[in-house]
């Protein structure tokens, strides 16, 4: 197992906990992003911090995205007084479509032996539609600028 494999495994494991907390049946791209932000890997943390993003800021942006997306259909989350259901007994193990797409973007462009943690972040941030780009926009993050910052942080890149 390479260092990157171990890193990917740890992000997916942490992402599963984020998905569990989110009551999601699958690990989605936003859960991997939360996991990266909560992790200790310095390059990815620095890149995210440069855009004002830590785990808490991303969580807040995701919550806002959920609320605003419901609003677009005329539904207000504040109107629901839900009893909180009991959680699933275990965190999910299945990757959702958005997480698989992020991994595919990473794996099809870069050779496996070249992969570094920033490549995973790049795959997540390159989504053109869906929850992650919408949440980033609501947080006031320039997604294209952030992608460029990640690219500069990749090994062998000189700007």
Closest approach, Cβ 113 to another protein, in A, equals 36
Of residues 4, 69, 100, 110, which one binds another protein by CB under 8 A? 69
> Left, alpha or beta for 107 (phi > 0: left; psi -120 to 50: alpha)?
alpha
Q: In this structure, are residues 127 and 148 in contact, taking their beta carbons and an 8 Å threshold? A: no
Q: How many residues lie near another protein (CB under 8 A)?
A: 25
8 Å CB contact between 35 and 15: yes
The binder of another protein chosen from 1, 40, 42, 73 (CB under 8 A): 73
Contact with another protein (CB under 8 A) among 131, 141, 149, 150: 131
Beta bridge partners of 95: 27
Per CB under 8 A, the segment of 7-15, 43-51, 64-72, 108-116 that binds another protein is: 64-72
Residue 87 sits in the site that holds another protein (CB under 8 A)? yes
Q: State the sign of the Cα–Cα–Cα–Cα dihedral 73, 78, 79, 84.
A: positive
**Is 76 one of the binding residues for another protein (CB under 8 A)?**
no
Inter-CA distances, 75 with 67, 84, 156, Å: 9, 19, 48
Stretch that binds another protein, among 3-11, 29-37, 84-92, 106-114 (CB under 8 A): 84-92
In three-state secondary structure terms, 27 is strand
Q: How many residues in the chain?
A: 159
The reply on whether position 65 binds another protein by CB under 8 A is: yes
Reading the block at residue 12, the tokens are 């997916």
Q: Nearer Cβ to another protein, position 97 or 109?
A: 97
Q: Which is nearer to another protein, 52 or 87 (CB)?
A: 87
32: its two tokens: 């991997």
Interface with another protein by CB under 8 A: which residues?
A: 23-25, 65-66, 68-70, 72-73, 75, 77, 80, 82-89, 129-131, 134
């Amino acid at each position: 197992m390479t260092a990157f494999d171990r890193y990917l495994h740890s992000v997916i494991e942490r992402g599963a906990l984020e998905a569990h907390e989110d009551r999601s049946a699958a690990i989605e791209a936003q859960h991997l992003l939360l996991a990266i932000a909560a992790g200790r890997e310095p390059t990815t943390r620095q890149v995210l911090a440069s855009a004002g993003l830590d785990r808490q800021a991303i969580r807040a942006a995701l919550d806002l995205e959920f609320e605003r997306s419901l609003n677009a259909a005329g539904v207000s989350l504040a109107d629901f007084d839900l009893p909180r259901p009991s959680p699933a007994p275990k965190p999910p193990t299945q990757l959702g479509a958005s997480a698989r797409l992020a991994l595919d973007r990473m794996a099809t462009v870069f050779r496996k032996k070249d992969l570094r943690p920033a490549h995973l972040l790049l795959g997540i941030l390159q989504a053109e539609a869906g929850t992650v780009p919408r949440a980033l926009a609501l947080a006031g993050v320039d997604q294209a600028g952030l992608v460029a910052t990640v690219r500069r942080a990749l090994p062998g890149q000189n700007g």
